[in-house]
Homo-oligomer: A and B are copies of this chain.
Amino acid sequence: MVRMTEQRRVIYEILSREAWHPTVDELFLEAKKSLPRISQATVYRNIEALIQDDLATKIVGLNGPARFEKTKAPHAHFECRSCGAIKDIFIDTECINSIMDNKEIQQCATETIVVKLLGLCQVCRETNI
């Protein structure tokens, strides 16, 4: 049976911060502030459990470690191809619906749609020139 432990509660609370798409390392460092003895393995385990319960979502980028976010209403992600930062983009539900209105997609038993925009974030545009 699954317990809502202090560790999981803390990880979920960190994940719930706005505009925050932390990696496991970032979650770990944040969690240590309130739970100094927490292990990185615990972060991996609990983020996985939160995903199973559909409270968290995994975001994979082209490079680097996975990022995570609190599960929320469907939206898109802008991913910086240089630093990997993620920014939420709220796109019109109409757009999603029009994509899903496709015979091939419906035949495939699609459960989730992921829309990602790739480019250079403003920070990298300003520093990398």
Contacts and interface: CB of A to CB of B under 8 A. Distances in A.
Contact of A102 (B92, B116, B121): B92
Contacts of A116: 113-116
Contacts of A120: 109, 111
B110 A118 contact: yes
- Residue in A92, A99, A118, A125 whose Cβ sees the most chain B Cβ within 10 Å: A99
Interface residues of A, number: 35
A104 B89 contact: yes
A8 interface: no
Interface stretch (A9-17, A23-31, A33-41, A57-65): A57-65
B118 A114 contact: yes
Contacts of A60: 60-62
A111 B118 contact: yes
Contact of A119 (B61, B95, B112, B125): B112
A108 B89 contact: yes
Given A112-B118, A115-B116, A116-B116, 5 more contacts: A60-B61, A60-B62, A90-B104, A92-B102, A95-B98
